[in-house]
Structure 1
């Protein structure tokens, strides 16, 4: 229509130049036919389709042509839903192209000038080349579809095999569930005690790992905490610790404590509450970490060495030790809540 003046009187669009709607659609056609990937982004494809529909709805004659409007409906469907390309569709298109080319050739042989006729003949020759290219693409598509069908059959077979194996696996799992349920119902007190000890040991190990990585690694220079950290036991020096003994008439006496046992027991009885009092910087926090270090050594394999204060020996009496910094629990008064916030594992073990 663009290159043959015979058609110009049958369309409303001015097709001179390259910026008209018909020229744009011709360029879209070239882009599609010459694409190496045969792919379009959805937004680009929709733009192409909108302009193609506008060409087919040209107001002079095409808008009243039933075939043109059928094509418009197909293009609109293409925008609304998924479009499956089949070899049958290509064969129909090729047949239609050949028929239309033949009709155009016959209708223009008498109406057009010789020059126009030769020009149209040249264009039809180019169309034949493009048709051959399309036929080659059709052959490649048929081959691709054949390979995809073969792959689909193999995938369906594999899916059936997997489904069969999955059914067998489900049966085995159900049998195992029933067996586990039976074993749980038959658990003896000894088995439950064994599980308790295992859980207890695991909790202990986690506490030791936490203390050694987060609490017992300290800087040798307090004012430079970013310097290299050392193991607590390598730099700790025990301060002098005394116990305050109340006497009559409000008097009291201080006695130096020689062993850890003197802190935790009195007259052979364990003490429930113990308070360590001292000036700022006298070593109270460091002494708490010393207790933690002794407890970790007491409950670690191969770490039974002790000092003259016998801290490791005393800490063996305690299954667990929990270190709570009160400055981080200002609004909480319950020790149980402090423990649950700081050590979430205790919720499962209490």
Structure 2
């Protein structure tokens, strides 16, 4: 998960998909509410019940017979656990004393395309809270049990109500005519996004999903003339163009969902987690973004993009530091076999192999330089009398100039900085130069200087040696573009 999450665009698209879900949910909320209100009123009218009459004494256990699918659980000796706590002297499947609740129960069964989710609903509130009716049409899980209003039901629950409640088959025939239809495909796509594991969504999948949501909200027979739905369509189009203003409340809901997915995907590794564990990085990203937007109500999507970019850059650096520390510790203690291969979110064995190869390469390179560059001829006429470089080398005065303009005359440049360390030769701030030119008159010591650099610097900074290309020259007019020039003076 971690390597994928640290790719900015994919994670941003994942968050945008959740924003799209929330916008669509807001667009269809009033339609669901109207339908549920109509359901209650129709049930009361059909059975000639006074609309002012309510009942709050019929529990779900008593209003349902035993056994009832999606409600009864068998315990020991095949006794029904769900009905074991019923009121003494009462039997399951009774009629409501006020002649209301059992009629609502039967109407729910008639309206449901399959089997209602009885476990999540509270029958004592059927007459007062629409959400308790809605809970009968959501997936049969405990996720919706604590919902206090329709707003507390997530977008997946909203789509399930559209799919499972028969009345929407009449008001949205174009979307729900087939068993596998646009809404079921949209629900499956939403589940794939929510439970993606790596929290990554491609740009193509995001646009396809937003187009599907716009198609739902533009259904001519139900939502096309609904002001709330059409406002959601406008916002979805702005989201698609990255021009929307994000509500922080909606953003936090997406981030909370991301946190839940991180927790579920890393549950098996929890015993391995500690302050240095790289699997904490995805969770840290979520928390850092939430902290950054905590005091805001809204922010432009471009600003959110910037915030995510900055946080990801910091976490990428943190990840590399953690990886280096972990691998160095394993090498030092020799405990590689005690760690699962992916315990810290990266392939430990591959990193160990790379470290060992780098160490061997550095060792071989040092030996090669000592053999090929470790001596200096006293005279070109007497080759056999070469002497060790360390015995005759004298550090020259060195100055540098950094040039990025191909037409700048390096000889006439005014800012020539004296070099006091090898690091100043190779680095511009924290970034290494890709090319280094050594400039001096003949006989000043360009060759001996480069030999000395190779012998000394490569022992500790092999990657830099591989990146920096050395050029020895006296003719500046032949150089068209370069990063860095070193001047040698006596």
TM-score under structure 1 length normalisation? 0.30
* RCO higher in structure (CA 8 A, sep ≥6): 2
Query: Quick check: which has more Rg, 1 or 2?
Result: 1
